[in-house]
Amino acid sequence: MVKKSIANLKPYIPEETMADIKKEQGLTHLVRLSANENEWGTSPKVTQAILNWGVKDANRYPDSEVTGLRQAIATGLKVAPNKLVFGGGLDEIIQLLSRTLISTGDEVVLTQPTFSEYALHAKIEGAKLVNVPVDSSGVTDLAGMLGSITPATTMIWLCNPNNPTGTYVTHQAIADFMTKVPRSVTVVVDEAYIDFVTSEKPASVVDLLSEFDNLVVLRTFSKAYGLANFRVGYAVVAPQLAKILQTVRLPYNLSTFAEIAASAAYSDQEFVQGVVTAVAKERQKWQTFLTGLKLVSYPSQANFVFFKVKRAAELSTELLRHGYLVRTGLGPDWLRVTIGKPEDNQRVQNLIQQFVQK
């Protein structure tokens, strides 16, 4: 018998391969702006590190502790190495946290809309979802989330910047929030897009971990570091919780291949900074464009924009016909578009303009 909590679940729909889409659509050129991947690619240091490694010890299990990468990140974030828990992408960490911390009947508080995997895993664990809508500017409603905490609440998900709205809540706001959340409630701040924040530096709340041991901060190599294919993400947590998560996680969840790639990517902060600067510049142009067309959009601090447009599904079909895949289905008449290279953004904007003014 399939577990009751799972029987009626809708699956997360992963991206179709680019080769398949090209074939279906008869396209020679396709730019995928639907998954918030890094349009600037990957640091050349990653290629070099992989080539230097040359697939040694393929017959051996990888290092379960991910020692090299752990040390590098601990140094970079100025946290103790035993506060880090690695996963095959944040996907796995989201599953691991849910599996470890949520029991049947618990309440889990979420922003609406936000990344769908939090709800998926909460449901699998039999939790009751409490959705708190974003405010009229698309910003996570921290006061509303506080107000929805009950004795049954065990977990709160904060995606910052939030996917899909792109909006950012400040370090100060989260610090205040943490002082008001009961210590029995775990607050998970998913910082998948934190590198792209330019409105505040430093933007991360990793430093708050020393004050609040019910805080969990998530990071990934899939976005600014351009390593989505390698599946590397991690949680920064209190050492007590890290120990428990280490017990629940699969022992060899990161391949040496992934560790080597992530270590090389982490060592090339110049590449990351170049991407962040280029994205911020293009983001500004997008924002000016959307305002100019009088389309409703939210102020983004991430590597994507989210906007409302009539006949959004039709527009997405039109964009795909021209070789641009964007994300639909996140809200009626809303589209999410990953910020791409300048020439692609210009092309997409021209197509949107023609569509809207038709």
Ligand X SMILES: *Cc1c(COP(=O)(O)O)cnc(C)c1O
Question: By the criterion CB under 6 A, which residues form the site for ligand X?
Answer: 36, 89-91, 115, 159, 163, 190, 192, 220, 222, 228, 233
Nearer to ligand X, 27 or 330 (CB): 330
Q: 3-class SS at 318?
A: helix
Nearer to ligand X, 233 or 323 (CB): 233
Nearer to ligand X, 177 or 225 (CB): 225
Nearer to ligand X, 62 or 351 (CB): 62
CB 224 within 8 A of CB 188: no
Q: How far is the CB of 93 from ligand X (least distance, A)?
A: 8
Q: How far is the CB of 302 from ligand X (least distance, A)?
A: 8
DSSP state, 297? Answer: B
Bridge partners (DSSP) listed for residue 234: 86, 219
Pairing of strands 233-236, 84-87: antiparallel
CB-count exposure of residue 325 (10 Å: 0-12, 13-18, 19+) = buried
Nearer to ligand X, 122 or 159 (CB): 159
Helix then strand then coil, in percent of the chain rounded to 5, is: 45, 15, 40
Q: How far is the CB of 231 from ligand X (least distance, A)?
A: 7
Query: What six digits make up the tokens of 14?
Result: 């992963």
Q: Cite the beta strand spans of 26-92 per DSSP E.
A: 31-32, 84-87
Q: How far is the CB of 130 from ligand X (least distance, A)?
A: 19
Is the bond preceding 113 in cis, omega lying within 30 degrees of 0? yes
Q: How far is the CB of 119 from ligand X (least distance, A)?
A: 12
Nearer to ligand X, 188 or 309 (CB): 188
Q: How far is the CB of 34 from ligand X (least distance, A)?
A: 12
Nearer to ligand X, 11 or 26 (CB): 11
Cα 260 to the chain's mean position, in Å? 22
Q: How far is the CB of 89 from ligand X (least distance, A)?
A: 3
Is the bond preceding 251 in cis, omega lying within 30 degrees of 0? no
Sequence-distant (6+) residues with CB within 8 A of 328 are 312, 313, 316, 335
Looking at beta carbons, which residue is closest to ligand X?
89
Q: How far is the CB of 92 from ligand X (least distance, A)?
A: 7
- What is the CA angle 44-59-50, rounded to 5? 5
By residue count, the chain amounts to 358
Nearer to ligand X, 83 or 223 (CB): 223
Closest to 189 in 3D by CA, of 151, 167, 168, 159:
159
